[in-house]
A and B are shown apart, each in its own frame.
Chain A
Amino acid sequence: MNDFQQLSRRSFLSSTGLGFGSLALGAMLHKDGYGSTGHPWAPPTGKPHFQTKAKSVIWLFMNGGVSHMESFDPKPMLNKYSGKTIAETPFADAQDPEKLKIERLVVPDGNGNQRNKLYPLQIGFNKHGQSGIEVSDWFPNIAKHVDKLSIVRSMWTTDSNHGAQGQFHTGRHMNDGQYPTLGAWVHYGLGSLNDNLPQFISVGTRPYWNSRDGVYLGPKHDAVPLRIDPNNPLDFSKPQGSLSFDARKRGFDLVRELNQLRSDSYPNDSSLEARIDSYELAFRMQTAVPDVVDFSKESEETQKLYGLDKSETKSFGRTLLAARRFVERGVRFIQIQHGGGGAGAWDAHGGLKKNHTKNSMAVDKPIAGLLEDLERTGLLEETLVVFATEFGRTPGSQGSDGRDHHIFGFSVWMAGAGLKRGVVHGATDEIGFHAIEDRHYVTDIHATILQQLGLDSRKLELPDRKRLDIDHGKPIADIIA
């Protein structure tokens, strides 16, 4: 389009006469701040600990809590016993107090109740693909790709309110305090594949958890929040006043030169070097990021594939198309939240049918498009796509037409990067109440992802921040090919 893009990194470096700062380029962002030597503990090198299957993760998180029974874990018994209390069905033992013990007291707002009267499925479901896995008719497009998915139907968590959103990302209950999120660990552990772009990106609203990710790993491991808006993709990426491109470019050159001239007075000053590097990334990022969200180079067919041509799918489709473009450019972790408002769009305490119809319509086509696009471009081989939500919804009804939060059993699926294709792992009981087979806490998802990325979470631990076993989780071996 213009001189901006022609200004490759190489030419930028030579044209700005980069001196000693370039030596630190490779180490940028990952290595500064831990300069002290002689410690027995050492920060991550940026290299995986073992063989990698995945280079990048696209993390799709449905805010509010998707009904597992009406998405990827259909339960016909709900139709059969519709309107009966759980106690009146053969599955009465689901409410055995012993089995309900994992719930922790949380912010009490009246949602922690058991909903006793079974509520029928609000949507039909069908078998799909060669695997014959059942998927609800709210996700007809994703269903076409069911043979690519590893569906885990046996998740559980402990926060029965939306603090579970944070819990899904950190592995910790909100009352435990703040902990780094999965993306921050990945960012902390792995080196950069593209110095023009941030390696950990977050798109979408995060209504219920702090928008910083690094916590004790430090702010440099926070996600860079981006809006997928071709006109304003990055905070402060455009001058908020009059300043021409050429004037700016000359200014960056001068800043670099002056900073370098001062390095004589301040030898061994790692922060001065880091500052010089940060200006370099900033300069490249401010064009690299807008370039990613400039879809004019994508064919009409591709844009349609993601649903950019329809108003109901356009917004999420744009985000996912951007995600593919980020992955192509080597971004490690793209965290995408769907659905803002209140505690999250999927939080269907009432009017579930209307709610899930609308929300599934917004995401189904774009996600299917993403899977297809990644497959045909070969990127699915090295990209992990995750579809998750903070908890499921109660088999029983809330009010006349909704479902409450449900933490005892819910579903997550993953695809790509060395995972098995077309498999279901784990199960809930016949009314979708408890995960009963191969139960998994949320950190097992983290462990599976880290394993595919070649990271050992125990090796990433900081010496003064020992983590619990449950923080680390265990990889779900059954879904790894």
Chain B
Amino acid sequence: MVRKLLIFAFLPSVVIGEIDYLTEVKPLLASRCFDCHGGLKQKAKLRVDTVKLMLQGEVIVPGKPEDSELLHRIASDDPDELMPPDGEGVPFTADEIKTIRGWIQAGAPAPKDEVPEADPKDHWAFRSIAQTEIPNVNDHKWGRNPIDAFILRKQEQRGLVPQPEVTKLELIRRIYLDLIGLPPNPEELEALLSDSSSQWYETLVQKLLEDPRYGERWGRHWMDVWRYSDWWGLGKQMRFSQKHIWHWRDWIVESLNEDLPYDEMVRLMLAVDELHPEDQKKLRASGYLARNFFLFNRNVWMDNTIEHVGKGFLGLTTNCAKCHDHKFDPISMNDYYSLRAIFEPYHVRLDMVPGESDYEKNGIPRAFDTLLDAPTYLFIRGNEATPEKSKVITPNVPAFLSKEKLKVDPVNLPPVAWQPERQPGILETFVEVAQKKLEGERSKVEKAKEDVATAEKKWKELKDEPEPQQETPMPMKGPSDSLVSENFDTLDPFLWKTIGGKWKHKPGKLEQLMDGAQRSRLRYLEEVPQDFDATFHFQIKGGSNYRSVGIAFDVPSEKPDTITEQLVYISVGGSKVQAAYKKAGKWSYPRGEAVHSMKIKESMDYRLRVQVRGTLLNVALNGKPVLAWRTPLARTKGTIELITFDALAELLGFQLSKLDPQTTLVESNSPSKEQPTSREEAKLALTKARHQLELAQQNLLIANTEWMSVRFRAKAWKEAWAGKENSASRKHAIQSERKLAVAKAQSTFLQAEHKLALGAGNKKKELEAEVKKAADALKKAEEKVALEIKETDTFAKFSGAKWTPTRFKFSGKDDKAVDFKKQSTGRRTALANWITDKQNPLAARVAVNHIWLRHIGQPLVPTVFDFGRKGTPPTHPELLDWLAMEFMEKGWSMKHLHKLIVTSSTYRMGSSLAGAEKSLKIDPDNEHLWHRPAIRLESQVVRDSILSLAGDLDLTMGGPSIPMNQQANSKRRSLYFFHSNNERNLFLMMFDEARVKECYRREQSIIPQQALALTNSKLVLEAAPKIAKKLDRETDQDFIKLAFLSLLGIEAREAELQASLKALEDWRKLPKATPKTARNHFVWALLNHNDFVTLR
């Protein structure tokens, strides 16, 4: 740019000769032309990626721009002539055309030896994985295994020196967090530190890999890559993924713990329904495909499947080829739709799990082929509205990666796959459910009988007077389990907020200094328990008239429009203690038990105590009971405010605790809200109870008949499946169904009669018609029972699976159901076998790169989902290949690979850059891995570590995802939390929680919200005291040292020790502090240390 300007300034007439081909012309051509006229494609048999090729193609005539086709085409007015064609690139600007013209004019000078674009098939990732020799290195002391040789050789070539190994302490923390996602507890740490055997590390690695928590830790990694998501949608409508998808998560965790080979995992996820159609445990792997379900649009569903099979297993961005041939990789649109054809037949269903027949509660989501003949068409420009129907696309994999067409063999499925009710335990489940229902109805009948008895008794007893309430003395014991004990030494803004008035804080008191008839409020900002015991200590210092001070509660958090609230106050002007309430914005000051007249004086210490249970209030002033009253205003959720009205006052203290359930309050003598029932009401209740009983008995009859029917049908089906059809069983099955119909019709009839009997009124005619209709139906059902059973009669099937309905049509209803076919196309099996074939150049490389990234913190191929030509090439291609080969040769064992990586010297390097000025200069981006990158720990590790250190972590494995509303109190590992596009845990979100749509690599952000989460969350604040207790040591020094070791994996140095001691001392000086609270604060602070969330 600068150079050009200079030329213009000084030599305007010689511009032409100064145009540089490599920096000015070639980039223009590369950006506009190479896609179609370069190494990837040669449209019109033309290449323009070197000058020589342009000359060969006769598109330029050096020195003669006017005769050069190239110039003509890029500058044409004719849209049919213009290059690049409409929609395939930005046209050349006038200046750019001028540049190219100038260059041709000048004779199209070009460097010698200009290299044409490489053949895309020669791209490193598309070549088969080669046996790689382990390189020789100079320094034989550093390395521990072949990985290190690859790493060190590159460093030696560049003059780099690996950073020193970390301390044993740091290594222990690193390997724990890396392999199981949890830090060692203090005992483990101590044992390891004192273990002086030479093999301590290898032994530890082995132990951790065998720990089931390994499967949870690494399962979460693969859940990122494989796009695990619980279902989500709009409200209750499931639009994406599936219910109970957690079965797939459990399968992942279990498979990793069993070290199921990676290739087998891939095969099962893609085609388990064809490979092991009878194995329900393995079928859980199919969640991988079930997750792509999208309620409304098959194309979105298919596109996601193709895109992420490509990115996840192959490191190929096939999705680009949806709308146009891939611009970088040799993937055509045809290839894209060939991949789609592989998935075209599949839908999703839930397979019933033995013991649970309600699909809302359980079921295994899995794929199955049903649209066996659905054609796949190429969509012109990727637009689903314009399919190219003249040609049906057949299933295949990208042609450039495979010498021959994908061989697809249809799979004949065993009956259990298309008659899922034949899975073991399913019929038994139906019987069990029927039996349980029967039992339920039985107990309902018992309950209904009791209700009738109670109603009868009440009706008879009504004349009796209720017994008088007994008085109990006012309890005077002090508040226990205090939530807050405030003495206003400071005014904590997180606890208190002043509203209105003029407030002045002095240590030990808060003064309200504004005079006049208005209210001033000190609002308590924490949650107030429903039943509480509060004591307010204050003095009234003056004021104009009323001079009232008191406690308001149930104050809604919404301000300023307080609509309801409750209030207890004392008033100098009114000479009273008063309970009052505000309803719909209007205050009421009831007489009677709500008020106690007494002299109230200024400048006198008052302690106003209010105990509340439900609507019952007990009020004491300076220890003397004054009120026992029931407020007529229903209790609502709200907070407490200490209020002054028309009063100058000094607020001196406030205690609040939950009301001890043991405490007996004095009952008010005011009438309770429950009105005695009138005889008529009691009679009506009795009638209703009797009807309920009759209904319950009818339901019991239905349940009983149904139970019989289910058993008969189950027996008949079992016999039929076994080829032992038995006419008696068949008869029973059919007959029992007919009887069930009678029982149901009877129930309908009875209900109709009841309705008529109870409240005919003006609806009499309608109700009579209903009764008649029910009677007719009952008659018909009864007649059917008497009919002879014919050969053509059938009995109902059981269903052992439920298709997940789609809504692809515009109907607003579920689409027409698909059925379970006896055959599967075998397409996905073929794909899975091709992906995991050892000849496939991509699968192993991609997997190894993912594993490497998560151990080392830096991938070998930075674009982890794109190994194509647009991706970034590997930093260590030989190492990648060596690892990939080793992986495959050792049976795709992930545990083998883990062990190999974590026992290398490369793994054991430190992350510090201290003393590395030289290396930093040579390789600032650490491309050659001369130091270990520091890793910001993943969200799950942060949360799980905190719970684990506190000894709180619940290590229960597997099962349904923990719903959002239970997460706050759950101590389970974070991977078990419900996690979808719409619902993600707030704490985890602060630390770059996995995005469910695409998460091949986690973000590692550092944002202020993380600081807030770590300082203020319940999680951290509850854990800190528990951790402190576990680190209990006599002296502060020892405590601090252990805390550093345990929480941060570092040894406290003298300066750190001194700073920590000073902090402990300062904390102890705070009001209400104890040695214990100071230590709790210290642990809380260490949890906020950078090293706590960092894996060094």
Asked if B403 is an interface residue, CB under 8 A from chain A, the answer is: no
How long is the Cα–Cα vector from A109 to B1005 in the complex, in angstroms?
Answer: 38
In chain B between 979 and 1017, which residues have their CB closer than 8 angstroms to a CB of chain A? 981, 986, 990, 992, 995, 997, 1003-1013, 1015-1017
A238 close to B1011 (CB less than 8 A): no
The CB with the most chain B CB atoms within 10 A, among A210, A255, A314, A469, is that of A255
The CB with the most chain A CB atoms within 10 A, among B810, B1050, B1084, B1090, is that of B1090
Asked if B7 is an interface residue, CB under 8 A from chain A, the answer is: no
Known: A231-B525, A241-B1018, A245-B490. A259 touches B1089 (CB 8 A): yes
Kindly provide the distance from the CB of A175 to the nearest chain B CB, expressed in whole angstroms.
Answer: 7
Asked if A123 is an interface residue, CB under 8 A from chain B, the answer is: no
A271 close to B1089 (CB less than 8 A): no
Asked if A97 is an interface residue, CB under 8 A from chain B, the answer is: no
Kindly provide the distance from the CB of B215 to the nearest chain A CB, expressed in whole angstroms.
Answer: 28
**Contact pick for A262, options B807, B924, B1090, B1093, CB 8 Å:** B1090
Asked if B912 is an interface residue, CB under 8 A from chain A, the answer is: yes
Asked if B1091 is an interface residue, CB under 8 A from chain A, the answer is: yes
Residues of chain B at interface, number, CB under 8 A: 83
B1056 close to A271 (CB less than 8 A): no
Residues of A within 8 Å of B1004, CB to CB, are 271
In chain A between 34 and 80, which residues have their CB closer than 8 angstroms to a CB of chain B? 36-38
Kindly report which residue of chain A lies nearest to residue B385, judged by CB atoms.
A105
Kindly report which residue of chain B lies nearest to residue A112, judged by CB atoms.
B810
Contact with A along B1066-1096 (1 / 0, CB 8 A): 1100111100010001101110111101100
Asked if A267 is an interface residue, CB under 8 A from chain B, the answer is: yes
Kindly report which residue of chain B lies nearest to residue A37, judged by CB atoms.
B924
Residues of B within 8 Å of A244, CB to CB, are 490, 492, 1070-1072
**Contact pick for B561, options A234, A286, A311, CB 8 Å:** A311
In chain A between 281 and 327, which residues have their CB closer than 8 angstroms to a CB of chain B? 281-283, 285-287, 296, 311, 314
**Contact pick for A296, options B494, B499, B934, CB 8 Å:** B499
Stretch at the interface among A246-254, A370-378, A395-403, A408-416: A246-254
A110 close to B1081 (CB less than 8 A): no
Contact with B along A107-140 (1 / 0, CB 8 A): 1111010000000000000000000000000000
Residues of A within 8 Å of B557, CB to CB, are 229, 231
Known: A250-B1067, A269-B913, A285-B1008. A218 touches B1003 (CB 8 A): yes
B1053 close to A267 (CB less than 8 A): no
How long is the Cα–Cα vector from A1 to B1022 in the complex, in angstroms?
Answer: 29
B1006 close to A236 (CB less than 8 A): no
Residues of A within 8 Å of B490, CB to CB, are 3, 244-246
Kindly provide the distance from the CB of A202 to the nearest chain B CB, expressed in whole angstroms.
Answer: 13
B1010 close to A278 (CB less than 8 A): yes
Kindly provide the distance from the CB of A30 to the nearest chain B CB, expressed in whole angstroms.
Answer: 12
A282 close to B1090 (CB less than 8 A): no
A261 close to B1056 (CB less than 8 A): yes
Asked if B300 is an interface residue, CB under 8 A from chain A, the answer is: yes
Contact with A along B616-627 (1 / 0, CB 8 A): 000000000000
Kindly report which residue of chain B lies nearest to residue A464, judged by CB atoms.
B870
Known: A109-B812, A271-B936. A254 touches B1063 (CB 8 A): yes
A32 close to B1006 (CB less than 8 A): yes
B494 close to A265 (CB less than 8 A): no
Q: Total number of A-B contacts with CB less than 8 angstroms?
A: 202
Known: A230-B559, A238-B1016, A261-B1055. A269 touches B505 (CB 8 A): no
A268 close to B913 (CB less than 8 A): yes
Kindly report which residue of chain B lies nearest to residue A178, judged by CB atoms.
B997
Kindly report which residue of chain A lies nearest to residue B914, judged by CB atoms.
A267
Kindly report which residue of chain B lies nearest to residue A243, judged by CB atoms.
B1021
Known: A36-B924, A110-B810, A243-B1021. A237 touches B491 (CB 8 A): no
Kindly provide the distance from the CB of A315 to the nearest chain B CB, expressed in whole angstroms.
Answer: 10
B1081 close to A251 (CB less than 8 A): yes
**Contact pick for A107, options B297, B505, B1082, CB 8 Å:** B297
Asked if B25 is an interface residue, CB under 8 A from chain A, the answer is: no
Residues of B within 8 Å of A91, CB to CB, are none
Kindly provide the distance from the CB of A448 to the nearest chain B CB, expressed in whole angstroms.
Answer: 22
Asked if A453 is an interface residue, CB under 8 A from chain B, the answer is: no
A250 close to B934 (CB less than 8 A): no
Kindly provide the distance from the CB of A62 to the nearest chain B CB, expressed in whole angstroms.
Answer: 19
B1081 close to A282 (CB less than 8 A): no
Asked if B462 is an interface residue, CB under 8 A from chain A, the answer is: no
Asked if A242 is an interface residue, CB under 8 A from chain B, the answer is: yes
A1 close to B1084 (CB less than 8 A): no
B1084 close to A243 (CB less than 8 A): yes
Asked if B296 is an interface residue, CB under 8 A from chain A, the answer is: yes
Residues of A within 8 Å of B296, CB to CB, are 107-109
Kindly provide the distance from the CB of B514 to the nearest chain A CB, expressed in whole angstroms.
Answer: 14
B1003 close to A219 (CB less than 8 A): yes
Asked if A235 is an interface residue, CB under 8 A from chain B, the answer is: yes
Asked if A9 is an interface residue, CB under 8 A from chain B, the answer is: no
Kindly report which residue of chain A lies nearest to residue B984, judged by CB atoms.
A211
How long is the Cα–Cα vector from A259 to B1088 in the complex, in angstroms?
Answer: 9
Asked if B811 is an interface residue, CB under 8 A from chain A, the answer is: yes
Residues of B within 8 Å of A246, CB to CB, are 490, 1070
Residues of B within 8 Å of A274, CB to CB, are 1006
How long is the Cα–Cα vector from A402 to B206 in the complex, in angstroms?
Answer: 67
Residues of B within 8 Å of A267, CB to CB, are 912-914
Asked if A456 is an interface residue, CB under 8 A from chain B, the answer is: no
How long is the Cα–Cα vector from A187 to B806 in the complex, in angstroms?
Answer: 40
Residues of B within 8 Å of A210, CB to CB, are 981
B1063 close to A261 (CB less than 8 A): no
Kindly provide the distance from the CB of A312 to the nearest chain B CB, expressed in whole angstroms.
Answer: 12
A108 close to B810 (CB less than 8 A): yes
Contact with A along B493-511 (1 / 0, CB 8 A): 1100011000001000000
Known: A261-B1053, A279-B1088. A239 touches B1011 (CB 8 A): no
Kindly report which residue of chain A lies nearest to residue B303, judged by CB atoms.
A175
Q: List, sorted by A's number, 13 A–B pairs whose CB atoms are closer than 8 Å.
A: A2-B491, A104-B383, A175-B300, A229-B557, A230-B559, A243-B1021, A247-B1073, A248-B1015, A251-B1085, A251-B1088, A262-B1091, A271-B1094, A279-B1011
Give chain A's interface residues, CB within 8 Å of chain B: 1-4, 29, 32-33, 36-38, 104-105, 107-110, 112, 175, 178, 198, 207, 210, 212, 218-220, 224, 229-231, 234-248, 250-255, 257-259, 261-262, 264-269, 271-272, 274-276, 278-279, 281-283, 285-287, 296, 311, 314, 342-343, 469
